[in-house]
């Protein structure tokens, strides 16, 4: 049996696309998910596939017991998380438990279990309000929420645990991810899922503030490809260098498109993708704590992983709207 890739949070939005990309690359995949926000339907395409095993369990639990008999693992992709910035502000200790403590425990277990590579879903939230846009990995990190702080702390822990335990760690700083299977009903949904759901329902899109705030919106299929490249680069030392020799530099790799999209521009693109009238937009007061601008530099991902985003916004929105239409 070939060594598996463990995908925590594999039943979630990004996780299920990651499973698809890893399977397409011929990998055996083990999913560990507590189904708190993930859904079994997201994995239904692999029902009966002996190369995809699904283990229900909490990453805060006894992972070694939960995964006994499912290894060995070549790599771990750690996506399971408390993903809401708002909830992290309301309950920072709960956020810390999942996003830092469980991540650290999982990394220690993975190294002891012989995994050679640990790929972690970090976030653009580590930057807070970036000093410069597009923001490079070398820029200061000043997170504005416990969520961002825990992601940054996890990067630092992984940066020292990897070399200490002989495991390569890669932290991917994901920007705003959108696409099929993002739950538009969640109160914590991204702006794209919320806009698409409202446009499809014939409701006006609400823009908080003047709509000139920008985001770097990356299609989920591109993110899954970046994750898969980070896993596969484990066998190509020349791509990532010998990361067992010292802490990886930089501590995180931006995964974005490099393109800044203003929220007003996004609203118009969503309405085009759904074929609805452009005037159906309302403005509401700006929300506290929202950053003004965000976009990634993309050179590090290109150099270290051979990754560049490929799906243009209009195409990504078209695919997402088509998926939503299928859901009825
Ligand atoms: N979506 C984005 O725009 C974005 C941006 C930056 C970073 N990220 C990170 O990417 C990762 C995946 O996010 P997503 O958008 O796919 O969210 P998601 O909620 O769809 O996926 C998270 C998955 O983890 C599972 N999970 C949560 N807590 C768990 C626990 N304690 N034990 C086991 N499983 C658990 C959930 O059931 C779900 O399947 C997260 O780490 C998130 O912080 C996402």
DSSP 9-73: TTTSHHHHHHHHHHHHTT-EEEEEE--SS--GGGGGGGTT-TTEEEEE--TTS-HHHHTTTT--E
Mean pLDDT of the chain: 93
With cut-offs at 50, 70 and 90, classify the pLDDT of residue 125. Answer: very high
Buried b (16+ CB within 10 A) or exposed e, 124-142: bbbbbebeebbbbbebebe
Strand blocks (E) in 162-216: 168-174, 176-178, 205-208, 214-215
For residue 198, give both structure tokens.
């409202």
- Are the C-beta atoms of residues 15 and 66 closer than 8 Å to each other? no
pLDDT at position 44: 98
Tens-digit pLDDT profile for residues 83-112: 999 999 999 999 999 999 999 999 999 999
CATH code for residues 178-215+258-295+311-327:
3.90.25.10
- From 8, 11, 12, 309, the mutation candidate for ligand 1 (largest count of ligand atoms within 8 A of CB) is 12
pLDDT at position 45: 97
Would the CB of 34 count as within 6 Å of ligand 1?
yes
| Ligand 1 atom with least separation from CA of 37 | 37
Rounded distance, CA 161 to CA 142, Å? 22
In the chain, how long is the greatest CA-to-CA distance? 57
pLDDT at position 53: 98
Q: Does domain 4-176+217-255 match CATH 2.40.50.100?
A: no
- Least confident residue range of 201-205, 220-224, 315-319: 201-205
pLDDT at position 26: 96
pLDDT at position 270: 96
Most confident of 35-44, 190-199, 239-248: 35-44
Tens-digit pLDDT profile for residues 145-191: 999 999 999 999 999 999 999 999 999 999 999 999 998 888 777 89
Would the CB of 115 count as within 6 Å of ligand 1?
no
pTM score over 0.75: yes
With cut-offs at 50, 70 and 90, classify the pLDDT of residue 243. Answer: very low
With cut-offs at 50, 70 and 90, classify the pLDDT of residue 292. Answer: very high
Asked whether the predicted pLDDT for residue 237 surpasses 50, the reply is no
| Ligand 1 atom with least separation from CA of 147 | 43
| 245 vs 179: which has the higher pLDDT | 179
| Ligand 1 atom with least separation from CA of 33 | 34
Rounded distance, CA 108 to CA 233, Å? 21
| 28 vs 248: which has the higher pLDDT | 28
- Are the C-beta atoms of residues 47 and 19 closer than 8 Å to each other? no
pLDDT at position 27: 97
Compute the average pLDDT of residues 27-35: 98
- Domain ranges within the chain, ordered by starting residue: 4-176+217-255, 178-215+258-295+311-327
Assign 322 to helix, strand or coil. helix
- Least confident residue range of 69-73, 150-154, 231-235: 231-235
**How far is the centre of ligand 1, averaged over its atoms, from the C-alpha of 107 (Å)?**
17
Compute the average pLDDT of residues 113-132: 97
Assign 120 to helix, strand or coil. strand
Compute the average pLDDT of residues 116-138: 97
Rounded distance, CA 250 to CA 130, Å? 17
pLDDT at position 185: 82
pLDDT at position 249: 54
Asked whether the predicted pLDDT for residue 236 surpasses 50, the reply is no
pLDDT at position 1: 52
Question: How much of the chain, in percent, has pLDDT values that exceed 90?
Answer: 87
With cut-offs at 50, 70 and 90, classify the pLDDT of residue 233. Answer: confident
Contacts of 323 (CB under 8 A, 6+ apart): 179, 180, 181
Look at the alpha carbons of 310, 182, 144, 305 in this order and tell me if their dihedral is positive or negative: negative
**How far is the centre of ligand 1, averaged over its atoms, from the C-alpha of 9 (Å)?**
6
Rounded distance, CA 41 to CA 113, Å? 30
């Amino acid at each position: 049996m070939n060594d598996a890739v463990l995908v925590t949070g594999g039943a979630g939005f990004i996780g299920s696309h990651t499973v698809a990309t890893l399977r397409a690359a011929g990998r055996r995949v083990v999913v560990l998910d507590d189904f708190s926000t993930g859904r079994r339907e997201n994995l239904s395409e692999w029902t009966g596939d002996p190369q995809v095993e699904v283990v229900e369990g909490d990453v805060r639990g006894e992972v070694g017991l939960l995964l006994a008999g499912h290894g060995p693992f070549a790599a771990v992709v750690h996506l399971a998380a408390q993903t809401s910035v708002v909830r992290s502000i309301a309950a920072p200790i709960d956020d810390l438990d999942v996003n830092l403590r469980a991540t650290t425990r999982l990394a220690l277990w993975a190294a002891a279990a012989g995994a050679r590579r640990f790929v972690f879903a970090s976030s653009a939230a580590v930057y807070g309000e970036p000093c410069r846009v597009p923001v490079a990995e070398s820029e200061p990190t000043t997170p504005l929420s416990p969520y961002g702080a825990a992601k940054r702390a996890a990067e630092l822990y992984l940066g020292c645990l990897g070399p200490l335990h002989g495991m390569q760690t890669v932290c991917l700083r994901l920007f705003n991810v959108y696409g099929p299977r993002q739950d538009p009903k969640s109160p914590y949904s991204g702006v794209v899922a919320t806009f698409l759901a409202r446009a499809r329902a014939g409701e006006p899109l609400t823009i908080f503030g003047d709509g000139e705030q920008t985001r770097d919106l990356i299609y989920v299929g591109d993110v899954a490809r970046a994750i898969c490249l980070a896993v596969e680069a484990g066998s190509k030392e020349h791509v990532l260098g010998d990361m067992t020799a010292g802490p990886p530099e930089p501590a995180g790799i931006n995964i974005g498109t490099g393109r800044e999209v203003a929220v007003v521009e996004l609203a118009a693109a969503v309405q085009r993708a759904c074929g609805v009238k452009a005037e159906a937009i309302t403005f509401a007061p700006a929300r506290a704590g929202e950053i003004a601008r965000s976009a990634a530099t993309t050179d590090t991902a290109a150099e270290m992983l051979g990754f560049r985003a490929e799906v243009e916004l209009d195409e990504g929105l078209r695919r997402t709207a088509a998926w939503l239409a299928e859901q009825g």
